[in-house]
Amino acid sequence: MGLLDIIPAGVVTGDNLKKLFDYAQEHKFAIPAINCTSTSTINAALEAAKKCRSPIIIQFSNGGAAYVAGKAIDNKNQEASILGAVAGAQYVRSIAKAYGIPVVIHSDHCAKKLLPWFDGMIAADEEYFKAHGEPLFSSHMLDLSEDPMEENIETCLKYLKRMAAIDCFLEMEIGITGGEEDGVDNSDVDNASLYTQPEDIWEIYRRFSEVTDLFSIAAAFGNVHGVYAPGNVKLHPELLGKHQAYVKDQLKAKSDTPVYFVFHGGSGSSPKEISTALEFGVVKMNVDTDTQWAYWKGLRDFYEKNKAYLQSQVGNPDGENKPNKKYYDPRVFIRSAEVSMVDRIAEAFDNLNSKNVL
Ligand SMILES: O=C(CO)COP(=O)(O)O
Ligand SMILES: O=C[C@H](O)COP(=O)(O)O
Ligand SMILES: [Zn+2]
Ligand SMILES: [Zn+2]
């Protein structure tokens, strides 16, 4: 039985999203979450998933969402980030079904200072729920990992109650992802905060479960955003196994993976690190930096290959009166970027063991 026997193609929310993650854990695969900033990058992500016969997660960071709306819109009260995330979600909703794959729409890291962004997106979810019986977004992430744990949990619980009422799924972060996100520089945080403890996972799991089962945990196991020289990042995905065993024991559960874990900083991770994470119940892995690089590389290679045709509107090695329109049409050069991004996402499906699961 394939995934499409269990959940439909198109945007999945609520119980269908839970079924997707359960299916992924059962079959030891995870779904790549690709940071998208435009219809071009969204289409590349959907194209890769269609090609690989896999579900996909389209996610918008705060800055990525603002970029979707356009740089001319002021973002002082998060207007651009709210409008852009909502516009991006609506765009995905209008085309997802045509790709014939399950699609999850998600918003990425939201720190305390960005809560007005979160409020704006939840308001859009509630409005969408009134009209369609489901939220606009499948899920959102709250990242209060910089704050004391009790405050992190309390704030998440407040939103979780509101989200549970509209079947919207919450991803929370505990422990700190190193590197940089949304201009917050975490490159010098102390080592212990980069690795979460099992007791903390249980505390979160226990309290969130009293409200809903629509939540996941981005637990830090040395994850870092970005790509660095070899040896600089020490990932310990096996720690996730300890967390799962601890929660299983507390719950006296049958499942070895009672928790849905999220892997941040997927770029630059080795296939071995990724497969260890899969073993311990990771259902979602975020990839941004490597797909950014792939998009750029596609464009760079196009330019290198066609340089002589890209110096003037008219005139190339084939003749001084020959027009170059077909080289500088964005549908041609941006397409090269997309094709390269599609290939990199296909590699992520391979590493995440999620090819041909429909
Ligand atoms: O975790 C991420 C987005 O939240 C992406 O991390 P990378 O840029 O390292 O792939
Ligand atoms: O959080 C990590 C993602 O890579 C988002 O990056 P960004 O804030 O530059 O869009
Ligand atoms: Zn974080
Ligand atoms: Zn992240």
Q: What is the pLDDT of residues 12-40, one digit of tens each?
A: 999 999 999 999 999 999 999 999 999 99
Residue minimizing CA distance to atom 1 of ligand 2: 181
Predicted confidence (pLDDT) at residue 329 exceeds the cutoff of 90:
yes
Predicted confidence (pLDDT) at residue 317 exceeds the cutoff of 90:
yes
How does DSSP assign 162-208, residue by residue?
HHHTTT-EEEEEES--BSEETTEE-TT--GGGGB--HHHHHHHHHHH
Which distant-in-sequence residues (6+ apart) come within 8 Å of 283 by Cβ?
A: 21, 24, 25, 30, 31, 216, 260, 261, 262
**Is residue 326 helix, strand or coil?**
helix
Residue minimizing CA distance to atom 8 of ligand 2: 182
pLDDT for the residue 302: 98
pLDDT for the residue 183: 65
Task: Look over the chain and give the mean of its residue pLDDT values, rounded to a whole number.
Answer: 96
Residue 327 CA, ligand 4 centroid: distance in Å:
36
Residue minimizing CA distance to atom 6 of ligand 2: 181
C-beta 244 within 6 A of ligand 1: no
Q: Which atom of ligand 1 is nearest to the CA of 266?
A: 10
Q: How confident is the model over 346-355, as pLDDT tens digits?
A: 999 999 999 9
Q: How confident is the model over 111-138, as pLDDT tens digits?
A: 999 999 999 999 999 999 999 999 999 9
Residue minimizing CA distance to atom 7 of ligand 1: 265
ipTM value > 0.95: yes
| Report field, pTM of the whole predicted structure over 0.90 | yes
Residue 289 CA, ligand 1 centroid: distance in Å:
6
pLDDT for the residue 192: 65
Phi and psi angles of residue 79, each rounded to the nearest 5 degrees, phi first: -55, -50
Q: Which atom of ligand 1 is nearest to the CA of 264?
A: 1
Ligand 2 pocket: which residues have CB below 6 Å? 35, 61, 63-64, 108-109, 181-182, 225, 288
